[in-house]
């Protein structure tokens, strides 16, 4: 892996609708992802935190992060999501 491929953004998200629905707090997600970056020797360029109800369409913070990735600021995203939520996240955020 060259230096460019080791540059990552951290993305954390917690819905403001129901505090019981998502298992990990933003601070827990950040701690775990920073630990992973350190272990894997990944450079974290920026941290994006999204706190928004799912009732409002779109994810403005996520959109900003993707725009910066398209400009080449980072080559990957570190995000914590439980396996049960991964399919929904992928469906909502990846191009079809």
Q: Tell me the domains of the chain and their CATH numbers.
A: 4-93 (3.40.50.1390)
In this prediction, residue 70 carries a pLDDT of 95
Question: What stretches in the chain show pLDDT beneath 50?
Answer: 1, 3-4, 84
Instruction: Give the pair of three-digit tokens for residue 17.
Output: 């609708």
In this prediction, residue 49 carries a pLDDT of 94
In this prediction, residue 3 carries a pLDDT of 45
Task: Tell me which residue of 40, 32, 43, 15 sits closest to 80, measured CA to CA.
Answer: 32
In this prediction, residue 35 carries a pLDDT of 94
Instruction: Give the pair of three-digit tokens for residue 46.
Output: 């920026």
Residues 45 and 73: their CA atoms lie apart, in Å, by: 8
CB atoms within 10 A of CB 70: 8
In this prediction, residue 95 carries a pLDDT of 57
């Amino acid at each position: 892996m060259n230096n460019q491929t080791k540059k990552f953004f951290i993305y954390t998200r917690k819905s403001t609708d129901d505090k019981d629905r998502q298992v990990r707090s933003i601070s827990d997600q950040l701690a775990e992802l920073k630990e992973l970056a350190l272990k894997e020797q990944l450079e974290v360029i920026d941290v994006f935190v999204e706190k928004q109800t799912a009732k409002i369409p779109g994810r403005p913070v996520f959109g900003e992060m993707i725009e910066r990735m398209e400009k080449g600021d980072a080559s990957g995203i570190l995000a914590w999501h439980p396996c049960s939520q991964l399919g929904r996240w992928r469906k909502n955020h990846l191009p079809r």
